[in-house]
Amino acid sequence: MPDLTKQPIQGGPTQPVYIMNGLAGDPDPSSITGIPLTSSATSGTKATAGNNTILAAPGAGKRIVVHTVWVQNESATDTTVQLIDVVARFRALLNQYKTVLFTNWALNENTALTMNLSGANEISYRVQY
Protein backbone atom coordinates (compact mmCIF):
# COMPACT_ATOMS: atom_id res chain seq x y z
CA MET A 1 0.00 0.00 0.00
CA PRO A 2 1.42 3.42 -0.85
CA ASP A 3 2.41 5.81 1.91
CA LEU A 4 -0.66 8.05 2.20
CA THR A 5 0.57 10.12 5.13
CA LYS A 6 1.75 12.91 2.83
CA GLN A 7 -1.41 13.08 0.72
CA PRO A 8 -3.48 16.27 1.00
CA ILE A 9 -6.92 16.13 2.51
CA GLN A 10 -9.49 16.28 -0.26
CA GLY A 11 -12.98 17.66 -0.06
CA GLY A 12 -14.70 20.87 0.81
CA PRO A 13 -18.12 22.30 1.63
CA THR A 14 -19.88 20.24 -1.04
CA GLN A 15 -17.51 17.27 -1.03
CA PRO A 16 -16.84 14.57 1.56
CA VAL A 17 -13.44 14.74 3.25
CA TYR A 18 -11.28 11.68 2.69
CA ILE A 19 -8.53 10.84 5.13
CA MET A 20 -6.64 7.66 4.31
CA ASN A 21 -4.42 6.32 7.04
CA GLY A 22 -2.60 3.48 5.32
CA LEU A 23 0.74 2.62 6.83
CA ALA A 24 3.95 2.50 4.81
CA GLY A 25 4.61 -1.07 6.04
CA ASP A 26 1.24 -2.46 4.91
CA PRO A 27 1.56 -5.34 2.44
CA ASP A 28 0.87 -4.56 -1.19
CA PRO A 29 -2.07 -6.79 -2.22
CA SER A 30 -0.34 -7.58 -5.52
CA SER A 31 2.73 -8.91 -3.68
CA ILE A 32 0.89 -11.68 -1.81
CA THR A 33 1.81 -14.96 -3.50
CA GLY A 34 1.09 -18.63 -3.06
CA ILE A 35 -2.54 -18.06 -2.20
CA PRO A 36 -5.35 -19.32 -4.41
CA LEU A 37 -7.30 -16.27 -5.53
CA THR A 38 -11.05 -16.23 -5.23
CA SER A 39 -13.35 -13.27 -5.53
CA SER A 40 -16.47 -12.67 -3.52
CA ALA A 41 -18.70 -9.72 -2.76
CA THR A 42 -21.00 -8.68 0.02
CA SER A 43 -23.33 -5.73 0.42
CA GLY A 44 -25.86 -4.35 2.84
CA THR A 45 -26.70 -1.49 5.14
CA LYS A 46 -25.49 -0.72 8.66
CA ALA A 47 -27.13 1.82 10.97
CA THR A 48 -25.61 1.17 14.38
CA ALA A 49 -23.14 3.63 15.89
CA GLY A 50 -19.78 2.07 16.67
CA ASN A 51 -18.26 -1.07 15.20
CA ASN A 52 -20.19 -3.15 12.66
CA THR A 53 -18.58 -6.34 11.31
CA ILE A 54 -18.72 -6.51 7.52
CA LEU A 55 -16.51 -9.60 6.97
CA ALA A 56 -15.61 -12.10 9.68
CA ALA A 57 -11.98 -13.01 10.35
CA PRO A 58 -11.00 -15.78 7.88
CA GLY A 59 -8.93 -17.90 10.29
CA ALA A 60 -5.29 -18.42 11.19
CA GLY A 61 -2.85 -18.09 8.31
CA LYS A 62 -5.40 -16.36 6.05
CA ARG A 63 -6.13 -12.74 5.23
CA ILE A 64 -8.83 -10.81 3.40
CA VAL A 65 -7.68 -8.79 0.41
CA VAL A 66 -10.21 -6.09 -0.43
CA HIS A 67 -10.40 -5.05 -4.08
CA THR A 68 -13.01 -2.32 -3.67
CA VAL A 69 -15.20 -0.90 -0.91
CA TRP A 70 -18.05 1.44 -1.81
CA VAL A 71 -19.96 3.23 0.98
CA GLN A 72 -22.82 5.73 0.76
CA ASN A 73 -24.57 7.78 3.43
CA GLU A 74 -28.31 7.16 3.03
CA SER A 75 -29.25 9.51 5.88
CA ALA A 76 -29.59 13.29 6.10
CA THR A 77 -26.97 13.40 8.89
CA ASP A 78 -23.23 13.78 8.21
CA THR A 79 -21.54 10.58 9.35
CA THR A 80 -17.90 9.64 9.78
CA VAL A 81 -17.24 6.14 8.44
CA GLN A 82 -14.05 4.28 9.35
CA LEU A 83 -12.95 0.98 7.85
CA ILE A 84 -10.89 -0.95 10.37
CA ASP A 85 -8.85 -4.13 10.49
CA VAL A 86 -6.82 -3.68 13.67
CA VAL A 87 -6.60 0.11 13.45
CA ALA A 88 -8.64 2.64 11.47
CA ARG A 89 -7.13 2.55 7.98
CA PHE A 90 -9.63 4.52 5.94
CA ARG A 91 -11.84 7.33 7.16
CA ALA A 92 -14.38 9.51 5.34
CA LEU A 93 -16.87 12.13 6.45
CA LEU A 94 -19.95 11.51 4.31
CA ASN A 95 -22.64 14.13 3.82
CA GLN A 96 -26.17 13.15 2.79
CA TYR A 97 -26.12 10.76 -0.20
CA LYS A 98 -22.36 11.15 -0.67
CA THR A 99 -20.30 8.12 -1.61
CA VAL A 100 -16.67 7.10 -1.36
CA LEU A 101 -14.69 4.28 -2.93
CA PHE A 102 -11.59 2.63 -1.43
CA THR A 103 -9.43 0.16 -3.36
CA ASN A 104 -6.70 -2.44 -2.90
CA TRP A 105 -6.24 -3.20 0.76
CA ALA A 106 -4.70 -6.33 2.30
CA LEU A 107 -6.05 -6.68 5.83
CA ASN A 108 -3.91 -8.05 8.62
CA GLU A 109 -3.81 -11.83 8.94
CA ASN A 110 -6.90 -13.42 10.57
CA THR A 111 -8.63 -10.06 10.96
CA ALA A 112 -12.24 -9.06 10.37
CA LEU A 113 -13.26 -6.06 8.27
CA THR A 114 -15.20 -3.65 10.49
CA MET A 115 -17.06 -0.45 9.63
CA ASN A 116 -17.25 2.07 12.48
CA LEU A 117 -20.00 4.71 12.30
CA SER A 118 -19.96 7.97 14.25
CA GLY A 119 -23.75 7.84 14.63
CA ALA A 120 -26.73 5.54 14.16
CA ASN A 121 -27.25 6.63 10.56
CA GLU A 122 -27.97 4.42 7.58
CA ILE A 123 -24.82 3.64 5.56
CA SER A 124 -24.93 1.33 2.52
CA TYR A 125 -21.85 -0.65 1.51
CA ARG A 126 -20.58 -3.06 -1.11
CA VAL A 127 -17.27 -4.91 -0.70
CA GLN A 128 -15.53 -6.97 -3.37
CA TYR A 129 -12.80 -9.12 -1.84
More confident residue, 2 or 116: 116
What is each CA distance from 113 to 1, 44, 69, 125, in whole angstroms? 17, 14, 11, 12
Q: Is the pLDDT of residue 29 over 60?
A: no
Residue 123: predicted pLDDT: 94
Map out the domains of the chain as residue ranges: 16-27+40-128
DSSP 8-state class, residue 78: -
pLDDT band at 34 (very low <50, low <70, confident <90, very high): low
Point out the least confidently predicted range of 8-12, 25-29, 78-82. 8-12
CATH of domain 16-27+40-128: 2.60.120.340
> What's the predicted TM-score (pTM) here?
0.69
Q: Is the pLDDT of residue 19 over 70?
A: no
The end-to-end CA distance of the chain, in Å, is: 16
Task: Tell me the per-residue pLDDT of 71-127, one tens digit each, with 9 for 90 and over.
Answer: 999 999 999 999 888 776 788 888 888 888 877 888 989 999 999 999 999 999 999
Distance CA 54, CA 43 (A): 9
Residue 33: predicted pLDDT: 53
Point out the least confidently predicted range of 14-18, 22-26, 105-109, 114-118. 14-18
Residue 89: predicted pLDDT: 78
